[in-house]
């Protein structure tokens, strides 16, 4: 889900190492119910995706990130520098949205895909997000 923007993707500035991005947790299976930790499944690249969709935290709040979806079970945050330490990147494609790029597809390299997804999930923090009254059923 990208925002329309007057600037093209090539005109967007790279994100700073200290920038934070949010990953909407769209499936219950992406969260360990006992520990409330983000699981590696949240960071596996699906076959139809060019990268993992993330929201830029300096532009949108966790609540705004979650409110874009009918079913959202939480929001995870991760620092761009942690993503880059893994040889990946978070590349902006609009003023408020980016893609985590460099992940392999599970079908191409299951071991590497799962290892990177696990490292991302271990670096991520699940945030407490309050339900907004106009969020179309988003609740936590």
pLDDT digits (tens, 9 = 90+) for 30-89: 999 899 999 999 999 998 899 999 999 999 999 999 999 999 999 999 999 999 999 999
CA distances for 8 relative to 57, 101, 105, 135, angstroms: 20, 18, 27, 29
Distance, C-alpha 68 to centroid of its chain: 13
Query: What ranges make up the beta strands (E) of the chain?
Result: 20-24, 52-56, 75-79, 89-92, 97-101, 125-127
pTM of the complete model: 0.84
CB 93 within 8 A of CB 15: no
């Amino acid at each position: 889900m990208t925002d329309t923007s007057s600037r093209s993707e090539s005109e967007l500035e790279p994100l700073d190492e200290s920038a934070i991005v949010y990953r909407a947790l769209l499936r219950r299976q992406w969260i360990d119910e006992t520990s409330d930790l983000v699981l590696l499944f949240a960071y596996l690249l699906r076959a139809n995706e060019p990268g993992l969709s993330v929201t830029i935290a300096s532009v949108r709040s966790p609540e705004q990130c979650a409110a874009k979806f009918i079913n959202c079970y939480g929001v995870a945050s991760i620092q761009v520098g942690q993503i880059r330490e893994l040889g990946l990147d978070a590349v902006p494609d609009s003023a408020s949205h980016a893609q985590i790029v460099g992940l392999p597809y599970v079908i191409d390299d299951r071991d590497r895909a799962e290892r990177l997804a696990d490292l991302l999930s271990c670096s991520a923090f699940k945030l407490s997000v309050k339900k907004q009254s106009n969020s179309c059923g988003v609740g936590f």
